[in-house]
Each structure stands twice: as C-alpha cells, then as structure tokens.
Structure 1
Amino acid sequence: MALRSWEGDSATWQLFLEGNRDAFATLYASFAPLLYNYGCKQCADPRLVEDCIQDVFEYLLDHRTRLSPVDNVRAYLLKAYRRALLRKISNVRKNIPAALPDDACFEAVISPESALIARQSNLHRREKVKHALRELPPRMKEALFLRFYENLSFDDIAAIMDIDQRSVYKMIYKAFDKLRQQLADFPLWTLLALLVRLPG
C-alpha cells in the first residue's frame, strides 16, 4: 500500500473544518478501513468496532466548529478512535479499565499481500513468525503494528498510545530483540520484510 499524502489529508481536513461535506465523505472513505483494521486488533467484536468508528465520525460532525487544523490526520484519528474504543469497551464490560492493561488482547498479523514473504518463506517459517509475534506482550505488538504496518512516526505512536517517545523507542527495540532471539535462524532482512508492508 502506497503511503498516503499527509499534506493532502491535512488539506481535506481543513475543507471539512470549513463545512465541506464532500471533504467529510473523503475522510470517512479514506480512514474508516484503517480504523476498522486497527480496532479489530484491539477488540474481538466487529460490531463494537464499527459502532465506535461511527461514534468518532459523528463526534467530528457535531464538534466541527470547535476542532483545529492537524498536521497528521491519520495519527489524530487513530488516537481519537483508540480512546473512544477503550471507553466503549469499558462501558460494555464494567470491569475493564479505561486504558489497555499489559495483558490486553492485541492481535498482530502478517501482511498477506507481501509478495516477498510469499517468495522467501514457506508455511513452516510463516507459522514460526506468527507464533513469535503472539508471544510478544500486547503493547509491543501494538507499537510494531503502528510503526511497521501503518508507517507512523515515533512521535505519532507515542501520542496514540499515551506514552513518551523514549518509551516507544524502547518498546520497539525490545520487541525486535525478542523476535530476533526467537527467530535466530532468520536473516535480518527477512524479518524486516515480514514486518513491513510492501507498496502495491
């Protein structure tokens, strides 16, 4: 998947703030699939995930005149969605706190469209990588997903996960180190290819 133009997103966001309904529709069409994909890794109930997307975009419409311009629309919406989803989960299950605990479910998946993975890895190796990813703590999986699948900056990841940037660096480094330990027979470039979504 090609990287989205952040400048274009910011311009669309500005048009939305000015009351352009087509701009709102463009934002929804562009980002609802991303939010759904992210939400399904946080929550096993697809209806709740979809309801939360609806809530976020309804909030944007209702509060449009009080919203500000943003530099990175994707990071802004991911953070807003994450908070809304955690609130909704807390409302559904009263005993779940409003922040993800360290053992909360965050399911990382290997990008299926990666042709490089298909060429370089047989089924056994793919299963080893999936197993290694499942063994990582959920917060590490979330950080890897945001960095390698969504191509977000460390600043954006820190904002989305409500932690400081240094913690993001440490988390991703430790996650990568754990993967390297479990997958010692994998060349570094192969492991990177498994984590990075290729364009196309």
Structure 2
Amino acid sequence: MTGNLHTQEYWNQLRDGNTDALSALYQLHYIGLINYGVKLTGDRDLANDCFTAVLLDLWEKRHTLPEVANVRAYLITCLHRRIMHEIASGKKRQERHLAVPDGQEPEWSHEDYLTAIEGNDAFTQAFSHAFRRLTQRQQQLLRMKFFDDLDYDHIALTCGITKRTAYNIIHDALKQLKNELKGHVQQSGLPIEALISAALLLILQ
C-alpha cells in the first residue's frame, strides 16, 4: 500500500478485509484519538485499551461497516461510546475511589464531568447555543485547544498569529461562555472550567 492513500481509501479497503488498511488507520489516528480519550478519562491506559478495543471491533465487523463521509469523526464516536460503556461499568471509578484515603474526597476526572453533563439536557443545549454565538475564529481556536489538544505555540503557528493573540482569543471565548452559562453552573455546583472542557469535547466530537 502506498503512503499517499487518503484515509477514506484506507476505510474502504478495511471494509474489503485489508489488514494493512487497519494498521494504516491506527497509525494515522492514534495520537489524536488517544489524546481525546485521555481528556475524557484522565487515564491514558484506559484510553489506549478502549481505542484498541474499537479497532478490534471494527475488524470483526469489517464486512458490515457502513460507508462514512468522515472517518475520523466516526472513529471518535466509536471511541466515545466505548469509553462511556467502560465508565458505566463502574470498574475504573471503583478502583479510583478505593485508592482514596479515608476522610479524603476523591478528585473529579473528565469522565465524571462528562457523566454529570450528559444527563443534563438543559446545560448541553445552553452550551451549544452559547458556543454558536462565538465568532468562527473563537470556535476554531477552542477546537484546536480542547479537541485537538494543541498548545498555544502550535495554535499560533498553525493560524499565523502570535502566541499572545491565540491566548487572548481563547481567553475571551471562555469568558463569554462562562458568563452565558453562569446560572447552569451554579445549579450544578461543579467547577465551570472542567464543565466547559467536558462540554466542548461532547459537542465537537
């Protein structure tokens, strides 16, 4: 297989049963999807295990896989569902809480915040509305920061702006989101920064 084949072609070849195509998809999307999984769980091992499970599941179902227009988005959705399944099982959460000394409150991870907001339709709808009110530039940089997990130096270089400008755009966008979601956050009693990060992951997948 040539290295110049588009991701879409790898996907089609996977559906035809080509093992090299599965390996190519793994190499192309490993870093991005693992970073996404780590943001969801705070646990790199869990993210890696879930991504591996997704690939194995894709191989088992290769002949019944659908045609997809955006392979990366499809893989992210599969990973998200797998992680949510693991969270629902309670295994990882139980292990984490058992490791917390008596009398000490456990820290919340991204998976806890995701679980908290996924059942809160009012917050999710309010966040989606607030996000759409941002400028396209603000949305773009938030995607790069919270979805692609890029640092400010990388964002600045990619967008052709200074690091300070990138920081200011993201800071102003987060400030606007905080102001519009203040009431919802007060009702939840949870830190707004973590909720915003988790909500971004949900709507940007």
Aligned CA RMSD, in angstroms, stands at 3.7
Kept in 1, the 8 Å contact 2:54–2:79? The answer is: yes
CA distance in 2, matches of 1:22, 1:76: 19
**Which of 109, 116, 125 in structure 2 is aligned with 1:101?**
116
Map of 2:200 onto structure 1: 141
Q: How much has 1:90 moved relative to structure 2?
A: 2.0
Shift of 1:140: 3.3
1:120 corresponds to which residue? Answer: 165
Change (3 A) 1:66 1:131: closer
Contact 2:117 2:195 in 1 (8 A): no
Q: 1:75 aligns with which of 73, 76, 101?
A: 73
Q: Return the index of the structure with the highest Cα Rg.
A: 2
After superposition, give the CA deviation of every residue in 1:115-157 in whole Å (9 maximum; x if it has no partner).
32415367xx59956974826535532256x2xxxxxxxxxx5
Distance change >3 Å, CA 103–CA 75, structure 1 → 2: closer
User: For 2:6, what is the secondary structure of its paired residue?
Assistant: helix
Whichever residue aligns with residue 120 of structure 1, its letter is T
Out of 39, 45, 48, the position equivalent to 1:47 is 45
CA distance in 1, matches of 2:50, 2:76: 12
Structure 2: gaps of 5 or more residues: 98-110, 120-144, 178-192
Identity %: 26
**What TM-score does the superposition give when structure 2 sets the normalisation length?**
0.53
Which of residues 73, 89, 111 in structure 1 aligns to 2:151? 111
Runs of 4+ off more than 4 Å: 94-97, 125-133
- The 3-state SS of whatever aligns with 1:102 is helix
What amino acid does structure 2 have at the position aligned with 1:114?
Answer: I
Structure 2: which amino acid aligns with 1:49? A
Match for 1:39: what amino acid?
Answer: G
Give the deviation of 1:69 after TM superposition: 2.1
Aligned match of 2:22: 24
Structure 1's unaligned 5+ residue stretches are 147-156, 158-200
Aligned residue-pair number:
136
Q: Which has the higher helix share?
A: 2
Contact 2:117 2:199 in 1 (8 A): no
Distance (whole Å) between structure 2 residues aligned to residue 121 and residue 69 of structure 1: 37
